[in-house]
Structure 1
Amino acid sequence: MAGGMAFVELVKDGATGLEKLVLREAHGCSVEVYLYGGQVIFWENEYREQLLFVSRKASFKPPKAIRGGIQICFPQFGNHGVLEQHGFARNRLWSVDETPPPFPATTSNCHIDLIFKQSPEDLKIWPHSFEFRLRVALSPTGDLMLTSRIKNTNADGKPFKFGFSYNTYFSVSDISEVRVEGLETLDYLDNLQRGERCTEQGDAVVFETEADKVYLSAPPKIVIIDHDKKRTFELRKEGLPDVVVWNPWDRKAKTILDFGEEEYKCMLCVGAAYVEKPITLRPGEEWQGRQEISVVPSTFSFLLHSKASCGFPGAASEF
């Protein structure tokens, strides 16, 4: 599972009682993945800076999904029918995959493999059999890669349809100083307008109010530029045509029980997704989707402002 000075270990978090896998590369970059939800919660660079946002009010007790990190939304994105919001994968217990199939070659041998299968209770609300395999990998330079493979294992010969998203909560210095590039001129579904189809008019996506959008047929790479931190996240994707963008802003933030009233200022949710047209899998077929994130210094030079810190500040021991 690891090579060189990189390592992977399974530990129990003393504060939450949840099991997690810790990946650490030789240069000090690290990732923590909880078996609950198959969820990446922490991603830390070599300077011990947390790159993902986790709310101070996040619940780590089932059946609540953990507010932050990278949530796995399956078998749907959004709130439709009898399924819970964003499906059930993000609040179920996953297992370590002891016999994963070959995955595409990566630049990292520091990785973990998880698997999630439906329970009898899940079959009552979504009557389909599947195997969901997830690989989380950390490159020697600190890039974070998630690869999902979903297989239809129905014995009755029936296909099924599903939606998917990596809801990725990025930690930012000040949402009003953040811009997302690569989505300009694209059509998007505005969930604040009952899914109305609109077209992005700006030369970049900036934030002055609540945003809840699904950008359609997005390019394979987009960037999230944090001016104050002089830091840029590069998000690359394969097999996932859409991109979700969300920030609740002040009024909505006050209505979310597991989210601080002021935390909207220091987070932005952006993730590769498959939303507009559901994926259809026949029995025996498998779908694969991949998201990779790297961090590079921004080419922009702005005066740094003193900002109050927000979001979860440190390692899991501080829960």
Structure 2
Amino acid sequence: MGHPAINLDRNSEFEVVKDWNGIDQIVLKVPSGASARVSLHGGQLISWRNEKGEELLFTSSKAIFKPPKAMRGGIPICFPQFGNCGTLEQHGFARNRIWSIDKDLLPLNTNSKVECGMAAVNLILKPTDDDLRSWPHCFEFRLRITLSMEGHLSITSRVRNVDGKAFSFSFAYHTYLSVSDISEVRIEGLETLDYLDNLSQKERFTEQGDAITFESEVDRVYVRSPNVIAVLDHEKKRTFLIRKDGLPDTVVWNPWEKKSRLMADLGDEEYKQMLCVDAAAIEKPITLKPNEEWTGRLELSSVPSTCCHDHLD
């Protein structure tokens, strides 16, 4: 049973409910019927539904919903590293920590006006003693998640260096999109770009196709990518528009059949219904001097495929 709706400010209203592990989740709803759900475990988006109630994010049927395991699906936050290197856990620790609701409101970092019908929540993460032992840097990570009146989803991250020395980090919004069939999906906006191929020891290649399509495992980091990318799902006649700011790279990942069978928290055939397209900063880590702040923003919208070309122009 959920708690009463909590009103943080005149533009931000949400409901707090508990999952089966007793961890708080934030439910955002707008009058159109669109909704989103955020878990305080990882500050992770675990659901985003359009006005028809259709789920737009993929979550595995075998996902493990219990700390310290990050959930397979939704939008995990990869910080302070992407990938698996050094002494930190894979993709960093932010996606495995319990976040708090931020009482010091994070102002909207956007050029658009505030919409009356939107819903938003502000979260914050600070390092634990264990985090400081493995990554000895003091920071404040503020996260604002907003659902617009039209059902568009935006996530704004602010990382502030409150340490006495500079530090560097990599970052990604590890976005699992729900698709009808990976073989019927194409990505537009990344053609002619260089990418680092994680299946070839990060060797650098140049994209040759007029769009990215899928016939086998893909694990790439497209560097210096444009701020708007489109993911077209032909069967559903739906296009995801991905807009990003402060995040120069784009990760494209699908594990395909062989790797899916080796993953305990992903069904053998579920690779067909998922595609990760991550707004990221990986090739060149972000460096913050003391008291400096970095902002990275992601906006996701779902539109009929006939409308997407206008947004890419």
Give TM-score scaled by structure 2 length: 0.92
Q: Which residue of 1 aligns with 2:36?
A: 31
* Superposed CA offset, 1:162-187 (max 9, x none): 00000000000000000000000000
CA distance in 1, matches of 2:109, 2:216: 40
SS across alignment from 1:131: strand
For residues 231 and 132 of structure 2, the distance between their equivalents in structure 1, rounded to whole angstroms, comes to 38
Counterpart position of 1:112 = 121
Deviations 1:236-288 (A, max 9, x none): 00000000110000000001111110000000000100000000000100000
Q: How many angstroms apart in 1 are the aligned matches of 2:147 and 2:121? A: 9
Gaps of 5+ in 1: 301-319
Q: How does 1:209-228 map to 2 (within 5 A)?
A: 209-228=216-235
| Paired letter, 1:10 | V
Matches of 1:12 and 1:79, distance apart in 2: 31
Q: Superposition pairs for residues 13-162 of structure 1, below 5 Å?
A: 13=19, 15-105=20-110, 106=112, 107-108=114-115, 109-154=118-163, 157-162=164-169
CA contact (8 A) 2:42 2:70 kept: yes
Deviations 1:2-32 (A, max 9, x none): 758x84111112x343210000000100000
- Provide, for residues 110-156 of structure 1, a one-character-per-residue CA deviation record: whole Å limited to 9, x for no partner: 100000000000000000000000000000000000000000011xx
Amino acid at match of 2:82: F
CA contact (8 A) 1:2 1:111 kept: no
Q: Give the distance between the partners of 1:195 and 1:133, measured in 2 at CA.
A: 31
Counterpart pick for 2:248 among 238, 241, 245 = 241
Aligned in 2, Cα 1:165/1:113: closer, same or farther, shift over 3 Å?
A: same
> Cα deviation per residue 1:19-59 (whole Å; 9 max; x = unaligned)?
10000000100000000000000000111100000001001
Inter-partner Cα distance in structure 1 for 2:216 and 2:299: 28
Distance across 2 between alignment mates of 1:30 and 1:133: 21
Q: Please give the secondary structure, in 2, of the residue aligned with 1:205.
A: coil
SS in 2 for 1:148: strand
Tell me the residue number matched to 2:4.
none
Q: In 2, are the aligned partners of 1:250 and 1:264 still within 8 Å (CA)?
A: yes
| Distance in 2 between residues matched to 1:103 and 1:297, nearest whole Å | 28
Q: Report how many residues are paired.
A: 296
Task: Measure the CA separation in 2 of the matches of 1:54 and 1:251.
Answer: 19
Choose 97-106 or 80-89, whichever is displaced more.
97-106
SS of structure 2 residue aligned to 1:233: strand
Q: Is the 8 Å Cα contact of residues 106 and 144 (structure 2) preserved in structure 1?
A: no
Hey, which bits of structure 1, 4+ residues long, moved more than 3 A?
1-4, 105-109
* 1:54 counterpart letter in structure 2: T
Please provide the CA RMSD for this pair: 1.4
Q: Partners in 2 of 1:201 and 1:193 — Cα distance?
A: 17
For residues 199-210 of structure 1, what are the structure 2 equivalents within 5 Å? Answer: 199-210=206-217
Hey, what's the Cα distance between the residues in 1 that align with 2:13 and 2:81? 33
After superposition, give the CA deviation of every residue in 1:284-305 in whole Å (9 maximum; x if it has no partner): 00000000011110129xxxxx
1:299 is paired with a residue whose SS is helix
Pick from 182, 186, 192 the counterpart of residue 175 of structure 1: 182
How far apart are the structure 2 equivalents of 1:171 and 1:17?
A: 27
**Counterpart amino acid of residue 34 in structure 1:** S
Residue deviations 1:49-80, cap 9 Å, x none? Answer: 00000001001111100100001000011111
Work out whether residues 2 and 8 of structure 1, in 8 Å CA contact, stay in contact via their aligned partners in 2: no
Listed one character per residue, the Cα deviations across residues 208-234 of structure 1 (whole Å, up to 9, x for unaligned) are 000100000000100000000000000
Instruction: State how far apart, in whole Å, the 2-side matches of 1:173 and 1:2 are.
Output: 38
- Contact 1:2/1:110 (<8 A) preserved: no
Please list every run of 5 or more consecutive structure 2 residues that lacks an aligned counterpart in the other structure: 1-7, 308-313
Residues of 2 paired with 1:205 and 1:260: CA distance? 24
Matched-pair contact (CA < 8 Å) for 2:197–2:205: yes
Contact 2:101 2:122 in 1 (8 A): yes
- Tell me if the contact between 2:80 and 2:93 (Cα under 8 Å) persists in the aligned partners: yes
2:3 aligned residue = none
Q: Which residue of 2 aligns with 1:275?
A: 282
